[in-house]
Amino acid sequence: MNDLVLTVDEAAQRLRISRWTLYTLIHSNQLRTIKIGRRRLVPVDALTDCIKNLVEVAR
């Protein structure tokens, strides 16, 4: 089964960036997350959306 959500560490690993950089993307509203209790999770489709937006900005 494909993962629907990733932990912060897993998302950073998939993007090949540091946790610090991932939290920067989250706090600048460039990456959507959800909170369940104390856990912050990143929907897999949010990673795709974030990358598409970053590519658009880079053009």
User: What local confidence, expressed as pLDDT, does residue 1 receive?
Assistant: 47
Query: Cα–Cα distances in Å, from 59 out to 15, 31, 50, 52, 54?
Result: 20, 19, 15, 11, 9
User: What local confidence, expressed as pLDDT, does residue 3 receive?
Assistant: 86
Tokens of 7: 């932990």
Decide if pLDDT at 51 tops 60: yes
Burial class (CB in 10 A: 0-12, 13-18, 19+), 30: middle
Decide if pLDDT at 2 tops 90: no
| Nearest C-alpha neighbor of 30 from the set 12, 11, 52 | 52
pTM value?
A: 0.87
